[in-house]
Structure 1
Amino acid sequence: MTSGEVRLIRRQWWAWAVVALVVAVAVAPLVHMWLTNPDDQRLVDLDVYRTGGQMLLDGRPVYDYFTPAPQLLPFTYPPIAAMLAVALAKMSWETAQWVWTAGIFVALAVTVGFAFRDFLGRESLRKYVPWVFGLLMILCTYLMPVRDQVRFGQVDILLVALCLADCAARRPWWPRGFLIGLATAVKLTPGVFLIYLLVTRQWKTFFMASFTAAVLTLLPFGVIPQDAVDFWFSALLDPERLGANAATTNQSIRGMLIRLYMPEMLTMAIWVVLVAVVGWYGFRGARDAYGAGDRLTAVALVGLMAVLLSPVGWIHHLAWVVVVLAAILGDGRDPVRLKVAAGVWLFYVLTVPWFGVSLLAAGIPGVSLVLGKIVQDGFGLGALVLVWLLVSWLPKQRQMA
Structure 2
Amino acid sequence: MGERRWAGWAVVGCLVSFAGVWVAQRAVDVSLLDVMVYRAAGWTVRTGGNLYALRVEHAQLKMTYPPFAGLMFVPLTWVGTGAMRTAATAANLLLVVALSALSLRLVGRPARVPAVLAVAALAVWCEPVWATVRYGQINLLLAVLVLWDLTRRAEHRWAGVGIGVAAGIKLTPALFVVMLGAAGLLVRGTPYLRRALVAAGTFAGTVAVAAAALPADSRRYWTGVVVTANRPGFAGNVANQSLRGVVARLAHTAAPGTGWLCAAAVVAVVGLAVGVAALLAGDRLPWARPGRRWPAR
What interval of TM-score do these two structures reach, taking the shorter chain for normalisation? Answer: 0.7 to 0.9
CA contact (8 A) 1:245 1:255 kept: yes
Alignment RMSD: 2.8
Deviations 1:328-356 (A, max 9, x none): 8667xxxxxxxxxxxxxxxxxxxxxxxxx
Which has the larger share of helix? 1
> What is the aligned counterpart of 2:73 among 85, 95, 106?
85
> What is the aligned counterpart of 2:11 among 11, 16, 20?
20
> What is the aligned counterpart of 2:57 among 60, 63, 68?
68
The answer on 1:197 being equivalent to 2:180 is: yes
> What is the aligned counterpart of 2:263 among 274, 292, 303?
274
CA positional deviation for 1:232: 2.0
Corresponding position of 1:29: 20
C-alpha spacing 1:32/1:330, structure 2 compared with 1 (3 Å): farther
Q: TM-score, normalised by structure 2?
A: 0.83
The answer on 1:237 being equivalent to 2:224 is: no
CA positional deviation for 1:294: 5.3
Aligned pairs for 1:210-225 within 5 A? 210-225=200-215
C-alpha spacing 1:146/1:189, structure 2 compared with 1 (3 Å): same
The letter for the 2-side match of 1:82 is: G
Q: TM-score, normalised by structure 1?
A: 0.63
Aligned pairs for 1:1-400 within 5 A? 12=4, 16=7, 19-35=10-26, 38=29, 42-69=31-58, 71-117=59-105, 118=107, 120-121=109-110, 129-170=112-153, 175-201=158-184, 202-261=192-251, 268-293=257-282
CA positional deviation for 1:197: 1.2
Distance across 2 between alignment mates of 1:16 and 1:95: 31
Distance across 1 between alignment mates of 2:157 and 2:147: 14
Distance across 2 between alignment mates of 1:52 and 1:255: 25
Distance across 2 between alignment mates of 1:54 and 1:261: 39
C-alpha spacing 1:120/1:194, structure 2 compared with 1 (3 Å): closer
Distance across 2 between alignment mates of 1:79 and 1:59: 12
Distance across 1 between alignment mates of 2:8 and 2:221: 45
C-alpha spacing 1:263/1:252, structure 2 compared with 1 (3 Å): closer
Give the structure with higher Rg (CA).
1
C-alpha spacing 1:273/1:43, structure 2 compared with 1 (3 Å): closer
Q: Figure out how many residues of one structure are paired with residues of the other and give that number.
A: 281
The letter for the 1-side match of 2:150 is: C
CA positional deviation for 1:110: 1.6
Deviations 1:33-79 (A, max 9, x none): 334655xx52110011111111122222222121132x321222111
Distance across 2 between alignment mates of 1:262 and 1:37: 30
Corresponding position of 1:310: none
C-alpha spacing 1:291/1:139, structure 2 compared with 1 (3 Å): same
Distance across 1 between alignment mates of 2:19 and 2:182: 42
Distance across 1 between alignment mates of 2:208 and 2:80: 30
Distance across 1 between alignment mates of 2:40 and 2:159: 32
C-alpha spacing 1:273/1:84, structure 2 compared with 1 (3 Å): closer
CA positional deviation for 1:224: 1.5
CA contact (8 A) 1:80 1:219 kept: yes
Deviations 1:110-161 (A, max 9, x none): 211121235753xxxx9xx433332211110000110011110010011111
Q: Secondary structure at the match of 2:251?
A: coil
Distance across 1 between alignment mates of 2:245 and 2:287: 29
Distance across 1 between alignment mates of 2:117 and 2:159: 28
C-alpha spacing 1:131/1:48, structure 2 compared with 1 (3 Å): same
Relative contact order: is structure 1 or structure 2 higher (C-alpha 8 Å, sep ≥ 6)?
Answer: 2
Distance across 1 between alignment mates of 2:262 and 2:227: 21
Distance across 2 between alignment mates of 1:35 and 1:59: 34
CA contact (8 A) 2:13 2:121 kept: no
The letter for the 2-side match of 1:230 is: R
CA positional deviation for 1:192: 0.7
Deviating more after overlay: 20-29 vs 83-92 = 20-29
CA positional deviation for 1:275: 3.3
CA contact (8 A) 2:97 2:117 kept: no
Q: Give the fraction of aligned pairs with identical amino acids, expressed as a percent.
A: 25
- Structure 2 unaligned spans of 5+: 185-191, 290-297
The letter for the 1-side match of 2:207 is: T
